[in-house]
Every structure is written in C-alpha cells, then in structure tokens.
C-alpha cells in the first residue's frame, strides 16, 4: 500500500514538474499546483502509513527469552542440588 502511494506521489510530482515547465509560457499554474499538492499529500500519507505500521509490528522478544533461558538453567541446577542434599 505504501509503495503504491510512494509511486503515485512520484508520478504526481513528475506531472507537476512537467506542468510547471509548460505553464511558464502561459502563466497559468493552477494545474501544476494541483498536481504538486496532491503529490505532497500522497507522500505524507505514505510516510505516516509506514510509521504507523512500524509502531504496530510486534518486536521480536529476543532479550526476554534469553533472560528466561538463563534463569531456567540456574533453577534446574538448584533443583538438582536440592535433590542431592535430600538423598
């Protein structure tokens, strides 16, 4: 979705540049300004969607798993020591 918006934004900005080059002779910049504003809006929308998706994606929990695995090993060692003391 965001790639589509980025492509549409680039297309609108290219059309705006083309319209500005044509409008230099006539002095009518309405069409060029329209495409320029639409391109900017699409670019901002794509950036906001990208930022929103990044904040919504779950982070990979590598650090909690490492902490649990290191806690589990000493716990297992303590349990085997307690069994040794009981015997």
- Residue 76 belongs to a domain: no
- Residue 69 belongs to a domain: no
Domain that holds residue 38: 1-58
Number of domains composing the chain: 1
- Residue 78 belongs to a domain: no
Q: Report angle CA 59, 64, 67 to the nearest 5 degrees.
A: 155
pLDDT digits (tens, 9 = 90+) for 24-76: 878 788 888 999 999 999 999 989 988 887 787 777 666 555 555 545 555 55
User: 3-state DSSP: the chain helix, strand, coil percent, rounded to 5?
Assistant: 90, 0, 10
In this prediction the pTM is 0.57
């Amino acid at each position: 979705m965001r790639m589509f918006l980025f492509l549409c934004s680039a297309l609108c900005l290219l059309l705006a540049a083309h319209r500005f080059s044509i409008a230099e002779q006539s002095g009518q910049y309405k069409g060029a300004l329209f495409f320029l504003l639409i391109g900017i809006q699409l670019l901002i929308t794509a950036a906001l969607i990208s930022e929103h998706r990044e904040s919504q994606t779950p982070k990979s929990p590598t650090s909690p798993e490492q902490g649990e695995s290191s806690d589990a090993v000493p716990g297992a060692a303590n349990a085997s020591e307690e069994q040794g003391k009981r015997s």
